[in-house]
Structure 1
Amino acid sequence: MNYKILSEYPNEDLLAKWNDFLANARFPTHYVTPNFFVDPFVRGGERFVVLAFDENEKIAAILSGVDDGRKIVSGLFVRPQTAFRKDADKRQAAGTLLAGLKAKGGERLELIDLHSWEQIDEFKDLDFLGERAEGANTIIMLDLTKGADRIFKEFSQTRRNEIRKFLKQNQVLIAEIENADELAELYAIHRDWNERKGNEPDTFESFKLAFEQKDYRKIFIAKHDGKIIAGSYYRFCAGGVIEYAANNSLVEYQKLRPNDLLGWHSIEWACRAGFAHYSMGGSHLFLRRFGGYELKTYRYRLDRSFLRIHNLKENVRNFGLKTYRNLPLSVKTRIKQFAGKVR
């Protein structure tokens, strides 16, 4: 096998090979499509993609990521950015991806941090440390080949009852966002939601670009009496995996369960559109009530720094987090109060 490193959108010949790969890959997602190069939300360094080609010049595996000059990062536990062709030799493909990553980083490269939907022991054989997702890093995955009706039956009883109740009341309209006025109204909710959470909102320009990328993203909104009260955002690879990316909603209207209705509407749409899998992008209680199964993804890390300093820092951080979680609630409360005063 051989590799190719891209830092820009592919030409027509390579695009055709890329699309053929996506149609024959396991877990093809938005961030392993060519749209990765023009996606408005990729941050953290220079964008790149490593393509592994087999002896027939077919793409056998793809990895996308960012390079900050010392570290290469590909995805997260809840959003892997690797994919393999279903019939690929994974050992060769993994080795070829690693060769491409090392070539991309050069001598300055200290750390490779990549994530995969499935266990790939071949990375361990290449001196990577493997870690399986646990706790908040796991994903609820829906098998859309079951069809919407069967998936609905696997929702929790509470979720089914609430959806039936509010569909019957017909107070909330769910639809795809359509125009610039609706986008501006939803963006105001996005800003309000982030301010309440203490987060930096995305720029309106990024928001608008995501709205325009209709072949790779979808935005559904919930309206009550003509007013937008919530919106959910999705990214996808056609025919592959659709991922629940984010949600913004107005607190005062949550009693109407707009987010439950948005989730159900998106699942119905994804089944009709022919997607194979629906990733909830997390595993907290709200997401678990949509049924499905818990998927534990994998991280593979190669620390090339002196004294493996990146691994040491993470071990110290993880020890601190574990210690904090085991503290009595009263102590954790005082720590939070003190931290708030320091800020």
Structure 2
Amino acid sequence: MKFEILDGFPGPELERAWREFLTRVEIPSHYDSPEYFLDPLRRGTRPFAVLALDGNQVRGVLTGFHLEKEVLSGLTSRPQICVDGTDNAATLDMLAKGLLAEAARADLVHVYTWASLELAPFSACGFRRHQLQGSVVLDLTRGAEALFKDFSKDRRRNIRYAEKHGVEVREAVSKQDMFDAHAVYSAWRGTERKQVHGEWSFESFEKTVSLRNNRRLFLATFSGKVIAINIFRFFPGGLFESAANSSLDEFMHLKPNDLLQWRGIQWACDQGLRRHSLGGAHEFLRRFGGTVTPIVRYRLDRTLFRRHDLKENLRATARSLLQSAPPGMEQRVRKLLKAEKPGKRKTKEL
């Protein structure tokens, strides 16, 4: 077995082998596919893919990008690695070696994976394992109506409220739809409570949502005005992902985001997609039912004294001490720390 590193869309022969591989993956995602290279990056530079090859067959794929002195495969909300299960140990060993070759002298190398795919060969190369909360995942094979019954009571009520009060959801189809959607994104991005990593110009936005083999842009409208948007990412027959949601604050009382997510789920079920990752596990998303599926980060810290690992260990120790402190102490300390950081804004990874 060997690895091959790509920095652009593959040639015809390798593309065929890559696509044939994806037919053997249980739940392939868009970022596991050759189309990864068609996406405009909103964060980082130099996208790449590492393929583990057994003769002419692809056995595993890892995609990623460079970010200053770091190399990342995936984010906290989405893994970008998959294997076909033939020989996971050998396949993952090749992917690890390929990633290290691509990373060269990067200070930090991150790989995110679903907890069901442990990366022991990465640990053997010095990567440290850290389990994260993960993402809410729905089993779309159950059908939309069965999934709706598992929504929390207030989620079902919000969806009906939005419908009753005139919110409508449709796919974007025109250039004007693109302009209106980007305007909502820009307004959302500019609100004081958010800090979003990565710029998304109209040109990049339009190019991204125009990739309709792997993207759908849904618009929530009220009296003809676009008030919220959701971009969904998918791989045919595989994973459906909620990739980017934006909404206008003055219309939040109409519950457009509840309805957008529901319409996306209905569409995905109709298309025969198998799983839906909502891209996080906060309370709003948990109320759509499903299962919180952990994501695991493997990270190689090459800095002097492994300072990133050291900082993380110190934070973990501090959290442990706070949790074991007398009742009320943790909240008092958190309030004190918050008071020392006025104006801190909510951060969102794209």
- What is the TM-score of this pair, normalised by structure 2? 0.87
> Which of 327, 341, 347 matches 1:336?
341
Aligned pairs for 1:198-217 (under 5 A) are 198-199=194-195, 202-217=200-215
Aligned to 1:127: 126
Aligned partners of 2:6 and 2:343: how far apart in 1? 47
Pick aligned residue for 2:149 from 147, 153, 156: 153
Shift of 1:303: 2.9
1:255-274 pair list within 5 angstroms: 255-274=253-272
Give the match for residue 194 of structure 1. 189
3-state DSSP class of the match of 2:265?
helix
Contact residue 140 and residue 293 of structure 1 kept, 8 A: yes
Choose the corresponding residue for 1:162, options 152, 158, 164.
158
* Residue of structure 1 equivalent to 2:63: 64
**Structure 1 partner of 2:290:** 292
Matched, 1:27 2:27: yes
Distance 1:234-1:323 versus aligned 2 partners, 3 A rule = farther
Displacement after TM superposition at 1:204 (Å): 0.8
Q: Deviation string for 1:40-94 (max 9, x for gaps)?
A: 2352232110000124x21111001123574321111211111111x32110011
Whole-Å Cα distance in 2 between the matches of residues 339 and 109 of structure 1?
29
Out of 125, 140, 143, the residue aligned to residue 144 of structure 1 is 140
| Alpha-carbon distance between aligned partners in 2 of 1:121 and 1:33, rounded to the nearest angstrom | 20
1:214-239 deviations in Å (ceiling 9; x for gaps): 11111100111111111111111111
- Structure 1 residue 39: Cα displacement: 0.8
C-alpha distance in structure 2 between counterparts of 1:290 and 1:338, whole Å:
31
Pairing 1:45-60 to 2, within 5 Å after superposition = 45-55=45-55, 57-60=56-59
User: What displacement does 1:249 show?
Assistant: 1.1
SS for the counterpart of 1:253 is helix
Aligned to 1:90: 88
What's the CA shift for 1:320? 6.7
Is the 2:5–2:98 contact (alpha carbons within 8 Å) kept by the matching residues of 1?
yes
Query: What is residue 225 of structure 2 aligned with on the other side?
Result: 227
Aligned to 1:252: 250
Query: Residue by residue, what CA displacement relative to the aligned partner does 1:95-124 show, whole Å, maximum 9, x if unpaired?
Result: 011111222233x24432101113415233
Q: Could you tell me which residue of structure 2 aligns to residue 15 of structure 1? A: 15
Could you report, residue by residue, the CA deviation over 1:233-252 in whole angstroms, capped at 9, with x for unpaired residues?
A: 11111111111112111122
Sort the Cα spacing of 1:321 and 1:206 in 2 relative to 1 into closer, same or farther, 3 A: farther
**For the Cα contact (< 8 Å) 2:161–2:254, is it kept in 1?**
no
| Superposition deviation, residue 34 in structure 1 | 1.3
Counterpart of 1:218 in structure 2 is: 216
Aligned partner letter, 1:63 = L
- Residues of 1 paired with 2:47 and 2:317: CA distance? 32
Identity percentage over the alignment? 35
Instruction: Kindly indicate whether the alpha-carbon contact (under 8 Å) linking 1:61 and 1:84 is maintained by their aligned counterparts in 2.
Output: yes
Query: Partner residue of 2:326?
Result: none
Q: Shift of the alpha carbon at 1:20?
A: 1.3
- How does the TM-score come out when normalised to structure 1? 0.89
Amino acid at match of 1:183: M
**CA 1:320–1:235 in 2, change beyond 3 Å: closer, same or farther?**
farther
1:307 corresponds in structure 2 to 305
Q: Cα deviation per residue 1:2-48 (whole Å; 9 max; x = unaligned)?
A: 11100011111111111112222133212221122121235223211
Matched, 1:174 2:179: no
Amino acid of the residue matched to residue 166 of structure 1? A
Number of aligned positions between the proteins: 333
Kept after mapping to 2: 8 A contact 1:69/1:105: no
Partner Cα separation in structure 1 for residue 257 and residue 39 of structure 2: 25
User: 1:309 and 1:170 mapped to 2: Cα distance?
Assistant: 53
Partners of 2:44 and 2:68 within 8 A in 1: no
Give the letter for the 2:167 counterpart: V
Give, in angstroms, the shift of residue 338 of structure 1. 8.0
* Superposition CA RMSD, Å: 2.3
Q: Which has the higher helix share?
A: 1
Give the distance between the partners of 1:204 and 1:93, measured in 2 at CA.
Answer: 39
- Give the drift of 1:266: 0.2
- Say which SS state the counterpart of residue 341 (structure 2) adopts: helix
Residues 90 and 122, structure 1, Cα contact 8 Å, conserved in 2: no
CA–CA distance in 1 between the matches of 2:162 and 2:111?
A: 42
What secondary structure sits across from 1:199 in the alignment? strand
Cα deviation digits, residues 116-163 of structure 1 (max 9, x gap):
1134152334432211113xxx21000111111111111011111222
CA distance in 1, matches of 2:11, 2:282: 41
